[in-house]
Amino acid sequence: MRIALWDGGAFVANYSHSSRAPALEELYNHGPHDGTLSFEIGDPNLKLESNNGLDFSLRQQNKWINAEANFFTYDIKNFVFLAPTGTDDPGSGLPIAEFLQGDSRFSGVELNLDLKASKYLHFLGGYDYVRAELKDGRSLPRIAPLRGRFGIDAHYKGFSVRPEVLLIADQNHVFENETPTQGYKTFNVTGSYIILKKHYAHTFSMNASNLGDEFYFNHISFIKDISPGMGRAVKFGYTLRFF
């Protein structure tokens, strides 16, 4: 449902319902997993997962500003998740994690702003937060913490550069036997230069991440207890496209 409120402004509401059968690994895994570096134990008795979701949005779009505020809540019955047990498998030495399920609720907010200062300069901002809990009040594992980002988009003809600061808060809402993580900030820059021809285009790109070489742990990573996030990195690329 979309309702116009004023010039360029709108209210949007959406309801969704979905169902998902448990995946094979959630049902039958019983051994070491190289990707999660854990000894995973499935449950062949897992039930069908079903979800009822509500999304509400306020949007403003015109020549100078694109802004959006999204609010959402999802009620998930029999939500399947991989839970740490706090014990290690004696054979492999890996931590044991079990696939469990329970009724849960996800609620959160997302804010996005694109403010046009001039023909060649935009100011960008964003914020997102989600709270995910089982119906008994326990937090779910590996839920992203509050995040904010601020940056600019400067462009002229075929040249574009986008510096950005990413701010991540502490995550202390954790599941049993899960490790909390501290907040951090990173400074990233992406840039590109495009040479456009009639039937092809050259694209030169650059992606620089964590330029401050911040030491941090990504809370949504399966291996956050033993492996920090990537340090300072710069990547260059070239693409030739025909059309």
Residue 53's Cβ-side half-sphere holds a number of Cα atoms within 13 Å equal to 16
The mean pLDDT value for 115-141 works out to: 95
Q: What is the pTM (predicted TM-score) of this model?
A: 0.85
147-156 and 159-168 beta bridge pairing? antiparallel
* pLDDT tens track for 152-174: 999 999 999 999 999 999 999 99
State residue 209's pLDDT score. Answer: 96
Question: What confidence score (pLDDT) does residue 105 get?
Answer: 97
H helices within the chain, ranges in order? 24-28
pLDDT score, position 180: 95
Residue 228 DSSP SS3 = coil
Among the listed residues 55, 56, 54, 58, the one whose alpha carbon sits nearest the alpha carbon of residue 10 = 58
Q: How far apart are CA 23 and CA 131, in angstroms?
A: 24
Give residue-wise pLDDT tens across range 39-76. 999 999 999 999 999 999 999 999 899 999 999 999 99
Structural domain count, the chain: 1
Q: How far is CA 108 from CA 17, 55, 147, 181, 229, in A?
A: 18, 10, 12, 20, 25
| Mean confidence (pLDDT) of the chain | 95
**Predicted local confidence at residue 113, as pLDDT:** 96
Which residue, among 129, 141, 131, has the nearest Cα to 101 in the 3D structure? 141
Q: How far apart are CA 200 and CA 20, in angstroms?
A: 43
Work out the number of other CB atoms within 10 angstroms of the CB of residue 91. Answer: 9
Q: Which of 187, 165, 181 has its CA nearest to residue 231?
A: 187
Q: Which residue range forms the structural domain that includes residue 164?
A: 2-242
pLDDT cut 70: percent of the chain above it: 100
- C-alpha distance from residue 204 to each of 194, 197, 198, 199 (Å): 6, 14, 18, 17
Chain segment 76-93, per-residue pLDDT in tens:
999 999 999 999 999 999
Say what the pLDDT of residue 205 is. 97
- Give 158-182 as a DSSP string: TEEEEEEEEEE--B----TTPPPB-
Q: Is the pLDDT of residue 35 over 90?
A: no
Q: How confident is the model at residue 145 (pLDDT cuts 50, 70, 90)?
A: very high
Share of the chain above pLDDT 90, in %: 95
> How much is the pLDDT for 96?
95
CATH of residue 11's domain is 2.40.170.20
Q: How far from 154 is each of 129, 132, 148, 158, 159, CA to CA, in Å?
A: 28, 37, 20, 11, 8
